[in-house]
């Protein structure tokens, strides 16, 4: 694979070293070209343009994602973001007082706030301790599960530490106990190998703009066929029902797939952007992408160790991640973060550590420059 071609496809490399891709990934030239082509056609023929079809673009996106996740396209709905997806899930479930929900300590807010309404209804919300390794986390989680546990909702990868959670194992535990297993796939999809059927995930939501390199404001909801009737739609609109292209007479029958949750019109600009991003990744191969991410993160980890950083990934060496978090015990993370910013290096500060997340358009030479920059503080 010619990674120099990928490097050149991302103009951000001319100005910055962007190591916050688990936050937001900048757009590449192929994205600009795809969206420009669509808009040019749209100015000439409106929605009749042949440069992109609304339904065809949605279908193509879901086909690619279904192949990546091991599900059927009709089990995916295109939404706006993870928080919206988690609200669909939380608001759509039926729980009773004294039931329990287990969430993750220091979880991203998108997988916290949507669940809080249950506390007013007598449902107890617990936080599983983050722990420093997947094995320790699973052990701690097991100790929390009781016969009152009805939902466990966790991130596939912790957004602060980069630690992948053993979702296959947790999914099996949930299935054996009749617990709904909900996954926030934001930091996992596109970076970790996630097979929703193997992991027996009941529901999942994730955004387009992180490891999948898509647009801000577009996300995905996974609801398997056998769970559709267990999740009551929070919102219903023209696109929720069968024969949605015919507005009258009104219908009361919902679509037979997850599309019922895509209740109205999405931004076709975002859909075109997302399709171009996914096709770019697909053309490389998602497995090659994953290997490249881990190769870059390991190169970064080695460099950080050499200059005295304590790297959190050392606590889970058998579980590679594209997210690298660490701190230097001799230098404050605030000072490190400020120094990086002054040198046009984009990272993030999370829970007192500096978090890096390179994507495939980043080069080894850029990472070496980051290490040299850090060594000069």
Structure confidence by residue, pLDDT tens digits, 144-172? 999 999 999 999 999 999 999 999 999 99
Does pLDDT of 24 surpass 90?
A: yes
Is residue 331 a contact partner of residue 348, using CB atoms and an 8 Å limit?
no
Identify whether residues 215 and 345 lie together within a single domain. no
User: Which domain CATH number covers 177?
Assistant: 3.40.640.10
32 occurs within a structural domain = no
Q: Which of 232, 264, 282 is the last residue of a domain?
A: 282
**Boundaries of domain holding 303:** 3-19+285-375
Q: Please report which confidence band the pLDDT of residue 10 belongs to, taking 50, 70 and 90 as the band edges.
A: very high
Q: Which of 232, 253, 282 is the last residue of a domain?
A: 282
Identify whether residues 161 and 263 lie together within a single domain. yes
Structure confidence by residue, pLDDT tens digits, 271-312? 999 999 999 999 999 999 999 999 999 999 999 999 999 999
Does pLDDT of 46 surpass 90?
A: no
User: Which domain CATH number covers 322?
Assistant: 3.90.1150.10
**Inter-CA distances, 290 with 72, 321, 322, 352, 373, Å:** 22, 9, 8, 27, 27
Structure confidence by residue, pLDDT tens digits, 117-129? 999 999 999 999 9
Give the span between the Cα atoms of 61 and 327, in whole angstroms. Answer: 38
Question: Tell me, what's the pLDDT at 48?
Answer: 85
Q: Please report which confidence band the pLDDT of residue 51 belongs to, taking 50, 70 and 90 as the band edges.
A: confident
| Average pLDDT value for residue range 199-206 | 99
Nearest to 362 by CA among 266, 263, 289, 269: 289
Question: Tell me, what's the pLDDT at 26?
Answer: 98
| Average pLDDT value for residue range 128-142 | 95
27 occurs within a structural domain = no
Domains of the chain: total: 2
Mean pLDDT for the chain?
97
115 occurs within a structural domain = yes
293 occurs within a structural domain = yes
143 occurs within a structural domain = yes
Nearest to 107 by CA among 86, 124, 89, 91: 86
Identify whether residues 70 and 161 lie together within a single domain. yes
| Average pLDDT value for residue range 314-321 | 95
Identify whether residues 274 and 309 lie together within a single domain. no
83 occurs within a structural domain = yes
Identify whether residues 216 and 345 lie together within a single domain. no
Q: Which of 248, 265, 282 is the last residue of a domain?
A: 282
| Average pLDDT value for residue range 184-196 | 99
| Average pLDDT value for residue range 344-366 | 98
**Inter-CA distances, 74 with 62, 215, 220, 258, 303, Å:** 8, 22, 12, 6, 44
Identify whether residues 64 and 183 lie together within a single domain. yes
- The total number of residues shown for the chain amounts to 377
68 occurs within a structural domain = yes
């Amino acid at each position: 694979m010619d990674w120099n071609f990928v490097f050149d496809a991302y103009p951000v490399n001319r100005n910055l070293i962007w190591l916050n891709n688990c936050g937001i990934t900048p757009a590449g030239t192929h994205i600009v070209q795809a969206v420009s082509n669509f808009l040019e056609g749209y100015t000439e023929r409106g929605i009749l343009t042949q440069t992109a079809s609304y339904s065809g673009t949605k279908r193509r996106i879901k086909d690619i994602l279904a192949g990546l996740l091991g599900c059927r396209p009709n089990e995916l709905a295109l939404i706006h973001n993870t928080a919206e997806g988690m609200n669909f899930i939380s608001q759509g479930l039926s729980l009773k007082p004294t039931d329990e929900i287990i969430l993750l300590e220091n979880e991203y807010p998108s997988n916290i706030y949507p669940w809080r309404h249950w506390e007013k209804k007598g449902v107890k919300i617990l936080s599983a301790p983050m722990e420093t390794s997947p094995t320790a986390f699973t052990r701690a989680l097991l100790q929390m599960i009781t016969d009152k546990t009805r939902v466990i909702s966790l991130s596939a990868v912790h957004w602060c530490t980069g630690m992948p959670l053993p979702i296959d194992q947790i999914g099996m535990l949930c299935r054996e106990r009749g617990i709904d297993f909900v996954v926030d796939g934001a930091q996992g999809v596109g970076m970790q190998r996630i097979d929703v059927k193997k992991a027996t995930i009941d529901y999942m939501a994730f955004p387009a703009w992180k490891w999948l390199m898509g647009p801000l404001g577009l996300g995905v909801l996974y609801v398997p066929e056998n769970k559709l009737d267990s999740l009551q739609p929070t919102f219903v609109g023209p696109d929720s029902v069968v024969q949605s292209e015919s507005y009258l007479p009104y219908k009361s029958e919902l679509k037979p797939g997850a599309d019922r949750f895509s209740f109205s019109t999405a931004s076709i600009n975002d859909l075109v952007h997302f399709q171009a991003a996914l096709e770019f990744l697909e053309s490389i191969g998602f497995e090659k992408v994953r290997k490249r991410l881990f190769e870059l993160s390991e190169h970064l980890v080695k460099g950080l160790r050499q200059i005295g950083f304590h790297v959190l990934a050392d606590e889970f060496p058998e579980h590679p991640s594209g997210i690298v978090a660490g701190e230097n015990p001799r230098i404050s993370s605030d000072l490190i973060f400020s120094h990086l910013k002054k040198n046009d290096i984009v990272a993030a500060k999370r829970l007192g550590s500096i978090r890096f997340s390179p994507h495939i358009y980043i080069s080894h030479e850029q990472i070496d420059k980051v290490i040299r920059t850090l060594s000069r503080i």
